[in-house]
Every structure is written in structure tokens, then in C-alpha cells.
């Protein structure tokens, strides 16, 4: 499990698989690179993968609050494409926040991408025009989270957030005090992404940006996830030239962890054996 400086941040990452297809796995907020272990194990014969911990997650250093968090994570992820850590072209696979970073990398470097897989990418701005009621519902759901956080009740903010977006089989009452505290502290990272995800401040939806991604693109979502995700997928599928969607039955937002067989099965069509 290597460690090193990436884009000015001390970063920890995992190497996964014993195959040859280069893959970059990018995890969701409030998780770490280990979230991909179940999926990677099922594809181990075909992949040679890197899975970094983003700042403030897993064993990577904290984000110091300088700059935009989406820029920081994109710089870290992009460094694995720039320095030869992975062969090219690479298969980009991202979940939730990590999915938005994967999309940004594919837009910036379409010639380096063999395939793009976005598992419930939380680019909420993509749903604004395609599913306005679902977008408004998400804004309403997020209000109490922001209010609790701004009032200093970080664990309450995390409880509400994980109830909506976490694994339903692992409730708040099942967590230890240390786990609750860690999730509460991590809410600073979640809320720091509002501009990028809600307002598209990094321009992922700017004219011509999604259209630049010509690699085969797979959108995966759980059938039981939040309603806004279907709107996000519809907005992206309308813009990405070579996109298709897979819906995993009885799955929620944490589908890579709860349903690794289904996610790995879908990925097997993206990544050659």
C-alpha cells in the first residue's frame, strides 16, 4: 500500500488486481479506497488498479482548506495518469463524488481514457433541467444537514446525511462513538463540495465538455437510491456521446459496497478480460 506526495498532498493508495488492464478507482465521500475491494476482487484477474484515498479520508493527509476541494482531488487523481503509475489508456471508475472527478478527468483527457464508469455521480447540477422536482427535493433534503452543520451539530448532520445516502443495513445506532465522530468531522468535506456539485462551479457541464468524452461510458445506479440520481443520469446520458445505464435492483447509493457482484459484472463489459 504505497504512500507519497500527490499534487502537494500526502496521499495513501492501494494497488488492486493481478491483471493488465489499467484502472483508476475513485471512492465516495466519507469512505476510503477500501470501498472498492469487493468489486476489485471480482475483477482481479483482469485489472491492474490504483485506488487512492482522497484528502481527509482513509490514510491520506487532511485537506488544509486551501483552494477548491474538487480541484485538489482532481489534481491528485490526475497525477496517476500523468506519471506513468498506470498504463494508458486507463479505465476510469468513480463512485458518487469520485464519479464527478472521474468525469472531469475524462473530459480533460479523452485520449487517455479507455472507458468511463460513473456509479451514481453526484453532479446534482445535471439534474436541474432534466428532473427539476427531484432536484428541488434534494435541495430540501439537504437543508437540515446544512443547518445542523452550521450550528455546530456535526454528528447530527452526519446522521441525517448517512440515513439518506449511506448503507441502510448499517444504521447510525450500529456505529461506535469513534465512528460517529469521524463521520461528523467528515461532513466538512461533504459541504465543501456544494459549489462544484450543485452549481457546477468547475464547469463539467459547460458546452462541449461532456461531448468530448468519446470512450464507452457506463452509468450505474441502485434502483432504491435517492430520486435525484435518476435525474443526474438522464442529464449526463443526454450529453455523453457513448453512454448507457445499468440499474441494480434492490440497491441504494452504496451499491459498490452492498452489491459488488452486480457492479463487477457491469464493469466486466467495460474492461476486457
DSSP reduced 3-state for 147: helix
**What is the enclosing helix (H) or strand (E) of 261?**
helix 260-267
Query: Is the pTM value of this prediction over 0.75?
Result: yes
Determine whether domain 3-127+199-267 maps to CATH 3.40.50.1820.
yes
Report residue 176: phi and psi, to 5°. Answer: -75, 165
Residues 5/117/115/4 CA torsion (nearest 10 deg): 10
Q: Encode the chain (273 residues) as per-residue pLDDT tens digits.
A: 568 888 888 999 999 999 999 999 999 999 999 999 999 999 999 999 999 999 999 999 999 989 999 999 999 999 999 988 898 899 999 999 999 999 999 999 999 999 999 999 999 999 999 999 999 999 999 999 999 999 999 999 999 999 999 988 888 999 999 999 999 999 999 999 999 999 999 999 999 999 999 999 999 999 999 999 999 999 999 999 999 999 999 999 999 999 999 999 999 999 987
* Residues 75 and 7 sit within 8 Å (Cβ to Cβ): yes
**What are 227's three cell numbers?**
430520486
| Cell 487523481 belongs to residue | 77
Amino acid at each position: 500500500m504505497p504512500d507519497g506526495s500527490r499534487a502537494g498532498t500526502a496521499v495513501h493508495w492501494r494497488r488492486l488486481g493481478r491483471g493488465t488492464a489499467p484502472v483508476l478507482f475513485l471512492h465516495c465521500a466519507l469512505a476510503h479506497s477500501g470501498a472498492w475491494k469487493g468489486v476489485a476482487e471480482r475483477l482481479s484477474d483482469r485489472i491492474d488498479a490504483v485506488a487512492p484515498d482522497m484528502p481527509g479520508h482513509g490514510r491520506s493527509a487532511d485537506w488544509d482548506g486551501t483552494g477548491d476541494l474538487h480541484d485538489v482531488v482532481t489534481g491528485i487523481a490526475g497525477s496517476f495518469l500523468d506519471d506513468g503509475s498506470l498504463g494508458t489508456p486507463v479505465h476510469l471508475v468513480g463512485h458518487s463524488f469520485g464519479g464527478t472527478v472521474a468525469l472531469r478527468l475524462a473530459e480533460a483527457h479523452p485520449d487517455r481514457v479507455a472507458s468511463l464508469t460513473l456509479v451514481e455521480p453526484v453532479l446534482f447540477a445535471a439534474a436541474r433541467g432534466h428532473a427539476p422536482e427531484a432536484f428541488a427535493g434534494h435541495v430540501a433534503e439537504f437543508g437540515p444537514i446544512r443547518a445542523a452543520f452550521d450550528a455546530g451539530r456535526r454528528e447530527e448532520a452526519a446522521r441525517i446525511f448517512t440515513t439518506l445516502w449511506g448503507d441502510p443495513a448499517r444504521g447510525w445506532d450500529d456505529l461506535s462513538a469513534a465512528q460517529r465522530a469521524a463521520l461528523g468531522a467528515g461532513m466538512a468535506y461533504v459541504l465543501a463540495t456544494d459549489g462544484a456539485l450543485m452549481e457546477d462551479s468547475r464547469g463539467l457541464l459547460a458546452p462541449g465538455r461532456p461531448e468530448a468524452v468519446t470512450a464507452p461510458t457506463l452509468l450505474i445506479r441502485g434502483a432504491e437510491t435517492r430520486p435525484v440520481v435518476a435525474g443526474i443520469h438522464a442529464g449526463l446520458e443526454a450529453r455523453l456521446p457513448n453512454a448507457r445505464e445499468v440499474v441494480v435492483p434492490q440497491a441504494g447509493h452504496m451499491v459498490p459496497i452492498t452489491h459488488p457482484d452486480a457492479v463487477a459484472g457491469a464493469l466486466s463489459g467495460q474492461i476486457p478480460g
